[in-house]
Structure 1
Amino acid sequence: MSLTRALRSIAVAAAAVTLPLVSAPAAVAEPAPALVDQGDVLLTDAGGGQVSSCTIGYVDEANGRAWTDAHCGGNGTEVYDAFYTPIGRLHHIYPDVFAAVQNSDDSRWGPVSRMSDVAFIEFYDSKFIGQNYFSGDPIAEPQVGDNLCTYGNRTQRIACSPILYLNGPVAITADVGSDHGDSGGPAWIEGKGYFGQLLGADWIWRSDQGKITTTVFRQIGNNDLANPLDLHQPVEGYEPDFDLVRSQNVTTTADADRILNEKRQRDAEEQERVERHRRGEPLEEDLRRARDTKSELEGRKKDVEDKLENTTPEDQIDSEDKLTERAELERELEEINSTLEIVNEQTEIYERMSTDKGDYERSERSERSERKSIISWLTGR
């Protein structure tokens, strides 16, 4: 009987999304800053003209920071909001340990990788500080059995499931259906307050049980700043009860629709305001690059889908190697689909802004022509 875990990156269902940076942050001469709220998307520079996408976990107004995951970007990386406005820098709480984890194939690093996967964004200015839509500001002390709820900017839904295991600052629930780009998203306990950030999904395979998927969360790192954990020593893991994990229900909160509607309305207002600010800029190159990126991603998606058709279906998998092969293809397809969603949205924004700019310029020309005609008539010229 063998037990195999996807331990290294916790990337099966909620890792950062990497996508081409189709609009350089420097293009905005005088940014019109949007408030950064809990549950908002955050973008980090991944190098080579790429950015990675995660979710804001908690806005710490008193200290001018927001909490998220370390795997959302490199230590010291600049962070941007959804409009590519620079908002601050990412700071890992355990930079050395987390870097070692990423370069290790040793499975004993599994629990350490989760415990070291915590970071905060230090805002450049208090004008970016928003609010905690989902959890409110209080911090909760968790217990096994508490109903832990989470939100990710990728899936844009609230999902809850009971805490099954607590391993220091790490909580484990059943699979709540997180996806790429949800990483760093808020996790809170109903009636108690904020717990921490979503790390991602952890699939576990056993020869006599098949596969299960759990969701992994990391407690907010405020205590780690004052009293850092000793993560240079091996940390004891946990052995999941497959039947217990499979029997858990995924629910939502009674106020989920209200919260999500309020957030959507606020997001739409912020987007309209920023778009109005940017209509005076040249958009043709941004639009061309967005369309090229979309075409490239669609080609990659077709290639991966073709490969998946030629692999063993999951219900017929009888070995760890086959499971890993299929999981990697499915993960790549999820990454492409989530990236495509963001690029499609960007393309639509640029197309709309280009159309609005053209309408505005035509209107301006028409008004100037009318004014000139009236002046000519009045002066007899």
Structure 2
Amino acid sequence: MDGNGPADPPSSTNAEPQVSLEVLPLHSTTLLTVLDENGTVRYESPAIERIYGFDQDELVGEQVADYVHSEDRDVVVAAFRAVVTGDDHVEAVEYRHERADGTYTWVESVASANPTPDGNYVINTRDVSAQKERERQLEATNERLDEFASVVSHDLRNPLNIAQGRAAFLADDCESDHLEAVERAHDRIDALIDDLLTLSRVGERASQTESIALAALAETCWRTVPTADATLVTETDRNLPADRRRLRQLLENLFRNSVEHSSTSSRDPTEPGESVERGSTSSRTSPDDSVEHGGRSVTVTVGGLDGGFYVEDDGSGIPEADRENVFTVGYSTADEGTGFGLRIVKQVAEAHGWDVRVTDGTEGGARFEFTGVPTTDG
């Protein structure tokens, strides 16, 4: 344990544990408590005054369980009994401990697996109240986001569906450029609602992960995204642990971004483009039907990096001056973009603990690099 030097032996005449001096730092950010096998306090380090507000010897002779919140007491007692009975598997326990003013504060304690020479047990406790408050605020934020998502899904989607239906009826009765503009506006609102819902739900930590073949998932995503005549090339056989649904959101938004910002094709954008797997032989199909961009085809490539992967295109790229802003809500260089797609990409990466940056692609387009990504390859 960390400390600034050995402490003097406990001075209490009621109970003086014979504890090795090396384990009792005089000044420590954590609280060291010595308990006998019955859970009676034999010693508290000076940190008790900062964490609980009690004088150093005030709890000596008391049962520690009496100061644990009633809702947490059974768990704490069971954890301590497991240590006393010789359970080798010692886990930290979070619980609420009473302070001198009668309030409770969240702490985390872990006991040493082995008793001291005189049969006592050293408990290392740290204050986690700030962490718990952050968790509480995060839960409150997530609850508000869930409420927001419910409002967006119901209160906005329903009238939009009605408006789209009415516009369809009008289109059957008459032809008008105004109706086409209305339809485009409805489609844009629909896309905004989809992105808002995704954005409100994507920030939570990714906890349900599985081993995913990146190339196979990329090809699946490519088939579900309006990619016009663009071409997908996969240059990786990497498997990585990820939340499948969220990784799909990341890839689909990157694919949309590449196509929307690169394509000038007159072909119906609802038709999927070519998907090409480029393995170790680096073979690929001829882009005869590819999207035209500045007189050449638009290709999106998914490949591997040391400690990660990348997605890049050979379009016009993102100006260096704009790269710090691409992940902010509202950023878009396309008239039809919602401005949420790349923000969703960043949130998905952060939910997995990955880093993401945008740079130049090998052909001058935009390249998104994801690092800090473990693999599940054999």
TM-score if structure 1 supplies the norm length? Answer: 0.21
Select the structure of larger CA radius of gyration. 2
